Amino acid sequence: MVAAAHDHDVLIVGGGPGGLATAHALSKVLPSGSSIGVLERNPNIHRPQGAGISLDANGLKALRAIDAALYESVAASELSTSIKASEMRTKAGEVTRTIPGEVMEAQDTMMLARYGVKSVQLPWHDLVMVLFHALPKSVEFMQGVKMQRYEQLADGSVAVFVEGKEQPVTARLLVASDGYFSPVRRQLLDDGPPDFKDVVIFRTTISEEQAVAAGFKAGYNVLYFDEEACGLLFRTNSSTYSLVVSLQTWHLEKCGVDPSTLLRTGDAVPGLSGSWELSRKLDLEHAKVSLQTALNGWDPALMKAIASLPADRWVVHGVYCRSSAKMDPSHFGAGNVAIVGDAAHPIRPTGQGANMALEDAYFLAQAVGRDPIGLSALGEFRAARAERMRPVMRQSEVGAARAYKRGAAAEVDDPGAPVEPSDPEAENKQREDEQRSFRDFLYGVVMEPLRAAEVAKA
């Protein structure tokens, strides 16, 4: 890939699922002897954190095309688990609808037949560990390292300066997978931080034993949708559930909670990236009390579950997004700087953030593999990713608007969107048709296995 001396051929900023997947993908296409470095600000990635994650057909296809063994370790192991049923509940705990496990299994069968893979739910940290422990020897993972800035050097390489070190780390290609508040993006594009969407998210994991003790049924997913908050309890493996609650800031304020006390680090430090850093800076005891205050009177099982979990088990962060209408190829970088994942396209947490990051990793590696020396295909990569991301971002905007009953129209980022029919039957049919078409677009993506570069390292 290079002729000049430098520390790494590629340097990736960010060691979450997107950054790790990018390291795996690039290791497949770079010439033999190439070196990849990963900078991760978290000093201990082995400490369990985060909640659950859903990998859909497109994300799993990307993972399989990057490395079939990685795909098998996720899709064909204990990380994939069956669900007995899913319940829709009111905030008071009344069950309004039950979807039997057989129905969900039939949906999985349809997904498998139509798209070749089915969705998998697993703990976020488990996915990180699968990717981390399988890193090839060509990847140097450096944790507890905080990037400060980068410089373009005369020889065409990039120098990355990190906190506490005089000498920079140099590479031919810099990849930013450093989250919502990406320092790399801020320096390259100077386009401001993403928009805060007036929603605060609380995430954690809970054992099945704890969930049952709180009053939930073993093997059941539970969903709450209300104008003031949404909640989700879903199984991520045979013994663990993910618990996620999203609260509207207007409701927090109504309950006497100042939302800024839950977001102050992100707002005060625009360069901050990653939920680990956000939670480390917060008063989590205050955050837990705020959650309990805002949900006062909700389902007793939910309240008991929240009360049983220590404050330091929670990850708390705001929802930050960029508008689909503004998505542009430049959001994926310029020159020998590439941007992927939430740094490129922060969207609402409706399931596609991680999947799109895996897609980014695959398609970036595909582009690099076409010309690992000149990197001439990066422009095509950026244009194609921007085109694919626009409808995905738009769909997340519309989906979030429907999740809350209060002010739904105001939640849609594009006020010029067509008005849906008011007739319920026509509305449902239109929505079903739209969802079917979108699923085909999203999950029908074709990704062939990555091929090694046919050139030797200079």
Question: What are residue 245's DSSP bridge partners?
Answer: 202, 231
Residues 183 and 203 in one domain: no
Q: Report pTM.
A: 0.89
Residue 146's CATH number:
3.50.50.60
Residues 265 and 342 in one domain: no
Residues 165 and 212 in one domain: no
Name the domain boundary from 277, 303, 319: 319
Cβ neighbours around 135 below 10 Å, total: 17
Q: Is 246 helix (H, G, I), strand (E, B) or coil?
A: strand
Q: Is 274 helix (H, G, I), strand (E, B) or coil?
A: coil
Q: Is 448 part of any domain? A: no
Residues 393 and 297 in one domain: no
CA 146 to CA 422: how far, in whole Å? 51
Burial of 283 (C-beta count, 10 Å sphere; 0-12/13-18/19+): middle
Q: How would you write the pLDDT of the chain (458 residues) with one tens digit per residue?
A: 444 467 999 999 999 999 999 999 999 999 999 999 999 999 999 988 878 888 999 999 999 999 999 999 988 655 456 789 999 999 999 999 999 999 988 988 999 999 999 889 888 999 999 999 999 999 999 999 999 999 999 998 999 999 999 999 999 999 999 998 999 999 999 999 899 999 999 999 999 999 999 999 999 999 999 999 999 999 988 889 999 999 999 999 999 999 989 985 544 333 344 444 444 467 999 999 999 999 999 999 999 999 999 999 999 989 999 999 999 999 999 999 999 999 999 998 876 999 999 999 999 999 999 999 999 999 999 999 999 999 999 998 887 666 655 433 334 444 444 444 567 777 777 878 888 999 999 999 999 999 876 555 65
Residues 54 and 203 in one domain: no
Residues 36 and 56 in one domain: yes
Residues 284 and 208 in one domain: yes
Residues 187 and 226 in one domain: no
Domain count, the chain: 2
- Which uninterrupted H or E stretch holds 221? strand 220-225
* Among 15, 6, 13, 14, CA closest to 35: 6
Q: Is 164 helix (H, G, I), strand (E, B) or coil?
A: coil
- Read off the amino acid at residue 101: G
Residue 288's CATH number:
3.30.9.30
Q: Is 111 part of any domain? A: no
Half-sphere exposure of residue 321, counting CA atoms within 13 Å on the CB side? 28
Residues 313 and 394 in one domain: no
Q: Is 86 part of any domain? A: no
Q: Is 27 part of any domain? A: yes
